[in-house]
Structure 1
Amino acid sequence: MAEKTDPPVILGHNLWGTLTHHFGSDLHHHDVADGPDRIYMDYNATTPVDPEVVRVVTDALTEAWGNPSSNYLPGLKARDIIYHSRDTIARMVGGKAADIIFTSGGTEVTARVEVEDVIAAIRPTTSLVSIMLANNETGIIMPIKDICQRVREVNKQRAASAPKILLHTDAAQAIGKIRVDAHELGVDYITIVGHKFYGPRIGALFVNDPGTTTPVYPLFFGGGQEHNFRPGTENTAMIAGLGKAAELVSSNLAEYEAHFLDIRCYLEQKLLAVFGRDKIRYNSHFPGSDILPNTCNVSILGRGLQGRRVLSTCRRLLASVGAACHSDRGDQPSHILLNCGIPYHVATNALRISVGRSTSHEDVDIVVEDLRDTVEQLERMN
C-alpha cells in the first residue's frame, strides 16, 4: 500500500450536515445536463432521484401534508409515513427504527487510513473516531470493521475514568453500492445521505440505541420531535422519499453492485485498450484495498492533460476531478491522492469517473471515444 504523508483524520464530525431540501428531478442520466448528447458519469457527486422516489414524495406532499404531531387524518398519515420510513432506513443498515434520527443532509470529512495509524493516533482524551466508510474520490473502502475491533480492545484496557471511544462512519458513498451493516461493522454512528443513492437531499443518522447505549445530544432546541434529539416539524415528503430509496437499496443491492462492477471493469479495460498501459494510471488500485464497484479514479498521463482541462474539452463526458464540494481548488491536485502517495503530475491529471444504475457498455464506448478525441486534440495544441 502507498505510504501516507499525513496522519489519519480522527475528529468530531458534522453529523447534521447542511440545510437543504431540494430533491432533484426524474431524469435519465443522458438528460442530466447540457442536452441529450451528454453522458453523466459523476454519480459520486449526486444521483438523479429514482422515479419511484419521486412518486412517493409527490404522494406525501398531496396526501400527508398534515403536521405529524397532530391527531387528525392528514397528520396521522404523515406520522405513519415517517415511522415506516424510519423502519425501512434502519433495516437497510442493520438497525431498528428507534436508532434513526432524521437530519437535513450529511458532510464528508476524512482521508484514506490504515488500522495501525488510527490506533497510534488515539490519545487518553480521545472520545470519538470518525472515518468515512468509502472515500468519495478514490472509492477505497476503509477497514472500518478492523478499526472497530481494535478500538474495542483499547476501550477494555482503558482506566475507568477515561472516556469510552465511540466510532462514527460516514457511509454516504457506500450505501447503495455495497452492503452496510452497523452491527457487522461495529460502529456506534452512521451518516446516511439520500442524494447519493437516488433519494432526496435529506439525511439520517444511525445511532446504536440512542441516549442509552450510545450518547447523542441535540444541536437545536424546541419541540420534542425525533425523541428530542432534533426538534422541528418533520419534513414528511423528504422522509418518505428517503424511506423509498432505502427500500430500493435493500431489495436490489446485489443487482446494483453487480451492474456497477461490470460497468467499471469494462470502462477500465476500454481505457487500457485505447490508451495503453504506459499512458493510463489507476489511482485506486492498491494491494490489499477494496474499492467501490462504481468508482474509477484514473489519470491520462501527458503534458497538458490536466483533469480539469480534459473535462472542459470533452464533448460528451460529464465527470469531475474529485470531490464536488472541493471544486473551487482550481488546478491544484487532490490532497487525497497526494496523501495516498500518487505523484503530483499524476494527481493533477486525475479524473473521477463514477457510474450509475443506468450506465451501459454503450455509454462507456462513447465516453472512451470522447476522451481519446479530447486527448488527441490537446496533444496537438501542445
Structure 2
Amino acid sequence: MLKRRVLIFTTNPVHNAPRVIREIECLKEHFELVVTGETPPEDKSIRYINSDHIKLSHLEYTLGKIFRVVTFGKVFMGKYPTTQRKIEKLLKEVNPELVIVHPGAFLPYFFNRKQKFKVVFNAHEFHPKEFEGDLRWKKTWGKIYDEIYKNYLPQVDLLINVCDGIAKECLTQYGKDSLVIPNAGIFRKEIAPHLKSLGKIRMIHHGVAIRERNLEVMIELANSLGERFELDLMLVYQDEKYYSQLKKLAKQSINVRLIPPVKFDEIVPFIHRYDMGLFLLPPVNFNYLHALPNKFFEFVQARLAIAVGPSPEMASLVRKHNIGVVSEDFTKDSLQRELQSITHESINTWKMASDKAASILSADQYNQLYTQAVLNLIS
C-alpha cells in the first residue's frame, strides 16, 4: 500500500532541530516524507532537498529595506515573486498531499488558487512576539508576523503549538484553535534514577547561549550556593562576545564550568550523571514567559530533579509531578532560598518522581495524537 506523501518544510538545519527530528520520527512509519532544510536529517532513508536556494535572497532583504525607506517606515507585507516561484517549483517536484510548514515567514507562500494540498503550521513559538523587547524588530518583523497570523492562520488546516499558553494566545488574538504538541522527547525506558547520599549536588543547564536569557544569573546563583553545589553549563552559541563573557564569569567562579556540547541524541544519557536540571529564565518577552523547552523534557528523561523559576508552563509540571523546586520570583535570591536547604534525600525523592513522570512527559504520549490528526486531514 502506497503511503501518502508529506512535505516537511524548513530552511533551518535539520540534523540538530529537536522539533523537526521528533516530527520525522513520529510520522515516518505512516507517511512518505520529503524534508527540506539547510542540512539533511540523520535518518538517511528520508528523502532530503537542500533549502539554501529557497531562502530569501540578499536582494529580497534589500528590497524590503528600500520599501521601508520610500514609504517612510511601512513594512512590506506582500510575497516576493522569486520566492513564490521557488516554492511552486518545489511543490511541483514533490507533489505532496500535505505540507507541514515550520518557518512562520514562509507560511504565505503555501496558499494560492491552485493549492491541492493541506497545510499544517507547526509553530515553534508565538512569532508575533518573538523579540518584542527589540523596538526595531517589533516595528518590522513583529508587524510582518502579526499580519501573517491575521491573514493565514484562519486558512491553515491544522495549527500546532508547543504549549497551552501560546495556544490560548492564538485563539484569543487570531481566533484559531491549536493542537498542542510539546517539545517532549522519546521515552527512555532504559534509564533509571541515579540515586546517591553523598557528594556535591551537581546541576546542569544545557542549550543555546542567548544574551536575553541572562545565563549569568545562574552562574551567580551557583556561586551564592557555595561549594556544596556544582553547575555545568553545556552551551552552543553564535554570539561569541556573550559566550566569552560567560566563560570569564565561570573561570572566576568556585563551582561553575562551561563544557562542550554533545550531539542531540547523546544529551539525555550525558546529563543522567547529574542531580538537578536548572533553568531560571527571566520573562523578558511573551515566549520566555510561556517557555516549555526541549531541555525541560530532557531533564525528565534523564531522571533528574528540576529547579526552575515561576515560568507558568514549567512550574505547573514541576508542581504537578513533584519533581523539584519552583522559586517565588525570577531572581537569583529567590531560587537560592529554595535550593540552599535541599538534601540528597529530597533530590532522590524528586528523581524517583521524574522516573514516574518520564513516560507521561514523553513524545510517545503525543505521537499517536499527531499522527491521527494528520491522517484525518488527508484521508
Question: Which of the five TM-score ranges fits, normalised by the shorter chain?
Answer: under 0.3
TM-score scaled by structure 1? 0.28
Higher helix proportion? 2
Higher strand proportion? 2
